[in-house]
Structure 1
Amino acid sequence: MKYFSIPPAERHQQIVRSYWVLESDAPYTHYSMAEICPELLFHYEGRFSELFANGSTAHSFTAGIHGPGTSIRKFHINSAFAMFGVYFYPQAIPLLFKIPATDCANQMPDLSDLLKHVGNALEEQVGLAASTAERIAIIERFLDECLRSNYQHSNIFHAIAQLVHHPTSMSIKELSENYYLSERQFERQFKHYTGLTPKLFSRISRFHRAMKQYGNPGQSLTSIALESGYYDQSHFIHDFKEFSGLHPKTYFSGRSEATAWME
C-alpha cells in the first residue's frame, strides 16, 4: 500500500490542509472515524462498498464529500484501488458548496448531488488525469473559481483554526469574547461553518491529536492522554472508543486494521 500527502499552494492554505493519495494492489478495509474536517474524495480506480453492522453492504460513491461528524463507518474493496483526496479546513463546505456545514454533518453526499453537472465534469476530469500533479491542478482551478465568486471571511475562521491545531478546554464564553462575538453569535456561526458545536468539535480535535501519536514507540496510554490534553486516562479511553470504535490500546498496538494505511 502506498500513501503520501502534498501541501497546498500558498493561495489555498486557508482552506486546504493537504492533498493525499492512497493506492494498493491488494484488498483493503478502511475504518472511517469521527472527523472535524471534510474531505473531497475521488476513487479513480476501484470502488469501495460500505459494510453495515447488520451484515449488509452498499456501494459507496466514486466521488463525493466525507462530512464532519461522529460517524464510525467501515468500507471494503476486494481489488486494487487508487484514491485522491482533498483534506479541507472545516469552513470549506459553506465556501465551496454554498450550503451550511450542518447539511453534510455525518453524511457522505455524492459530488453530483452537490454540484450537479459541475460535479460530474469534475469527477470525470480527475478520473482521466494522468498524474497527481494534474489532479491537483484541476482542483486548484475549481477552488479558484468557487472562491472568486463566494469567498467571505469571518473572524470565526481564526477560532476554527485555533481549535483544529490546539484543542482547548476554554468555555464558549471565553472563546466568543476572544473574537468579539456574543456566545449565541459564536455558536451559531461556528456550527454553520463546521457542522458541529464548539464543544464537540474540540473533543474530536483532541481525539485526532491523540491519534497522531501513533508510531511513537514506548508511550503509555497515560502519556498519550496527557500529551493530547486529556485530564486522565479514563476520559481519554472513553472519547477514543466513542470516536473510533476501538480501545486505544488496540489502536496503538499496531495490530489493528485501522492503521494499515499508515504502515
Structure 2
Amino acid sequence: MYDVSGLPGLETAAGLLPPDPDCFFLIRRPPQPAFCDAVLSFTGYAERTSGHFRQIQAAPLAVPLIISFSSFFTIALGRTPKQDERFACFTSGLYAGPAVIDSFGASACIQVDFTPIGARRFFGVPMHELAARMVPLDDILGPLAWHLRERLGAEPDWNRRLGIVESIVYRRLLEASAPDRKTAIALRRIATSHGSASMADIAAELDCSRKHLVEMFHRNVGIAPKTYARMVRFHRVRQLAMSSGRAMADIALECGFSDQAHMSRDFMEFSGETPSRWKRRVS
C-alpha cells in the first residue's frame, strides 16, 4: 500500500484508480535532493465522487505515512478488510504480501513514502515493530498526529498542505540519528542486483555473519534480508512485464528464477494473484 506512485496502494495501472479522472485528485512532489535517501515522494489524494473504490498494493518496498483529514480507509493485509478495520492517520511497515485498501468517495489525505532507512529514522522505533501491521499514528507520534490532521484539514491549498508535511518530515529527519551504514550498503546491493545478490556475499562484504545481517534487517528494515530481496525481484518482474512485452518465462529466467512456476509462486505470494491475471487486469 505504499508504492512510490501514491497513496496506500495507489498505482497508476488501469483498474486500480477510479476509472474517471474527474473522480479523484492527485498531486505529487519529490523530496528535496538532500533527503532522497530517506523520502521517495509526497502525495496528496482526494476523492471527488461517491462510490466504493478498491486499491491493491503488492508487497510494497516503501513505508507510508498517511495523514487523512476526511473520511477513513478500511485496510487489511493479505485479505479483504472488514468494516471495523478503519484507519485515518497511520503507518505500516513492510509486508510481504498484498494490502487491500477500500475507500468510499470522501477520502482526502497526504501520504509520505519513506525508504526503509528513512522510516527507521523518522519514526525512531525498530522497524520490526511496524512490519506487517497497521499502526495508528497516535501510537508513534503522539499529539503531533492529531495536530497534523487538524492543521491539514483547515488548510484549503494542496501545495501548502504538502509544504506543511514536508517541513515536519525534514525537521524530524534532521534531528534523527544518521542511518545505519551497513544496512544502507546492504539495501543498495540488493537494489542494484534487482534482488539477486547472495546474502552470504553481502554479509562477507559487510564483514559480519549472516545471523548478524538478519538481526540488522529485523531492526532497521523490519523483515529478513532474503524476504526483502525476493520482494525487489518480484517488482523487477512486474517492471519488465509492463515495459518489454516479453514472455513471462523469459522474464523469470532473467530475474534468476529456476523456472516460471517458481516465479508464479512468488507472484501469488506477494500480490495475491497469478501473473496472467495481473497482466489481464493492467493491460
CA distance in 1, matches of 2:185, 2:130: 21
Contact in 2 for aligned 1:50/1:58 (Cα 8 Å): no
Deviation at 1:104, TM superposition (A): 0.5
The number of equivalent residue pairs is 256
CA distance in 2, matches of 1:11, 1:78: 37
SS at match of 1:195: coil
Identity of aligned residues (%): 23
After TM superposition, the score normalised by the length of structure 1 is: 0.84
SS at match of 1:31: strand
Q: Does 1:242 align with 2:242?
A: no
Q: What CA RMSD, in Å, does the superposition of the two structures yield over aligned residues?
A: 2.6
Deviation at 1:58, TM superposition (A): 1.8
Q: Counterpart of 1:18?
A: 41
Q: Which amino acid aligns with 1:62?
A: A
Match of 1:30 among 31, 44, 55: 55
CA distance in 1, matches of 2:104, 2:195: 41
Deviation at 1:157, TM superposition (A): 1.1
Deviation at 1:139, TM superposition (A): 2.4
Cα gap change, 1:228/1:24 in structure 2, threshold over 3 Å: closer, same or farther?
Answer: farther
Contact in 2 for aligned 1:93/1:100 (Cα 8 Å): no
SS at match of 2:116: coil
Cα gap change, 1:82/1:162 in structure 2, threshold over 3 Å: closer, same or farther?
Answer: farther
Output one character per residue of 1:13-65: Cα deviation in whole Å (capped at 9) or x when no partner: 11001223344434311223323321111233432223696884224211110
- Mapping 1:54-203, distance limit 5 Å: 56-155=82-181, 156-203=183-230
Match of 2:32 among 2, 5, 9: 9
Contact in 1 for aligned 2:190/2:197 (Cα 8 Å): no
Q: Which amino acid aligns with 1:96?
A: F
Unaligned runs of 5+ in 1: none
Deviation at 1:131, TM superposition (A): 3.5
Q: Which amino acid aligns with 1:12?
A: F
Cα gap change, 1:215/1:140 in structure 2, threshold over 3 Å: closer, same or farther?
Answer: same
Q: Counterpart of 1:47?
A: 72
SS at match of 1:74: strand
Contact in 1 for aligned 2:217/2:224 (Cα 8 Å): yes
CA distance in 1, matches of 2:260, 2:26: 31
Contact in 2 for aligned 1:42/1:127 (Cα 8 Å): no
Deviation at 1:6, TM superposition (A): 2.6
CA distance in 1, matches of 2:81, 2:163: 40
SS at match of 1:58: coil
Unaligned runs of 5+ in 2: 1-20
